Amino acid sequence: MSLAHEAVADLLKFIDGSPSPWHAVLTIEDILADYDFEYILEIEAWKLKPGGRYYVIRDDSSIIAFVAGKNRLVKQGYKIIGAHTDSPSLRIKPHALHESGGLLRMGVEVYGGPILATFTDRDLSFAGRVTHLCDNGEIATEYIHFKQPLLRLPNLAIHMNRHVNEKGLLLHKQNELPLLFAVSSENQLPDKVFSDLLASKCHTPVEQILSWEFNVYDTQKGAFWGANQEFYSNSQLDNLASCHAGLQALLNEEVLASGNTVVCAFFDHEEVGSESAKGAEGSFLPDILERIATAQKLSNDDYKRALAQSFMFSVDMAHAYQPNFSSAYEPEQRVYVNKGPVIKLNANQRYSSTSVSVAMFINWCQQADVAYQHYSHCTDIPCGSTIGPMVSAKLGIRTVDVGCAMWAMHSIRESAGVQDHIDMIKVMQCFFKDN
Q: Which residues bind Co ion (CB under 5 A)?
A: 238-239, 316
266: Cβ contacts below 8 Å, ≥ 6 apart: 24, 25, 28, 62, 63, 64, 82, 83, 84, 85, 243, 246
Return the H-helix or E-strand segment holding 140. strand 139-145
User: What's the closest the beta carbon of residue 84 comes to Co ion, in angstroms?
Assistant: 6
User: What's the closest the beta carbon of residue 238 comes to Co ion, in angstroms?
Assistant: 4
Nearer to Co ion, 316 or 401 (CB): 316
User: What's the closest the beta carbon of residue 21 comes to Co ion, in angstroms?
Assistant: 12
User: What's the closest the beta carbon of residue 15 comes to Co ion, in angstroms?
Assistant: 14
Q: Please state, in angstroms and as integers, the Cα–Cα distance from residue 386 to each residue in 25, 292, 401, following that order.
A: 20, 25, 8
Helix, strand, coil % in the chain, rounded to nearest 5: 35, 25, 40
Nearer to Co ion, 358 or 387 (CB): 387
Q: How far apart are CA 409 and CA 346, in angstroms?
A: 19
User: What's the closest the beta carbon of residue 416 comes to Co ion, in angstroms?
Assistant: 13
Nearer to Co ion, 238 or 420 (CB): 238
Q: How far apart are CA 261 and CA 244, in angstroms?
A: 19
356: Cβ contacts below 8 Å, ≥ 6 apart: 398
Nearest-5° Cα angle at 365, 225 to 384: 65
Contact 66, 264 (CB under 8 A): yes
Nearer to Co ion, 151 or 237 (CB): 237
Q: How far apart are CA 104 and CA 100, in angstroms?
A: 6
Nearer to Co ion, 365 or 404 (CB): 404
Nearer to Co ion, 105 or 344 (CB): 344
User: What's the closest the beta carbon of residue 58 comes to Co ion, in angstroms?
Assistant: 19
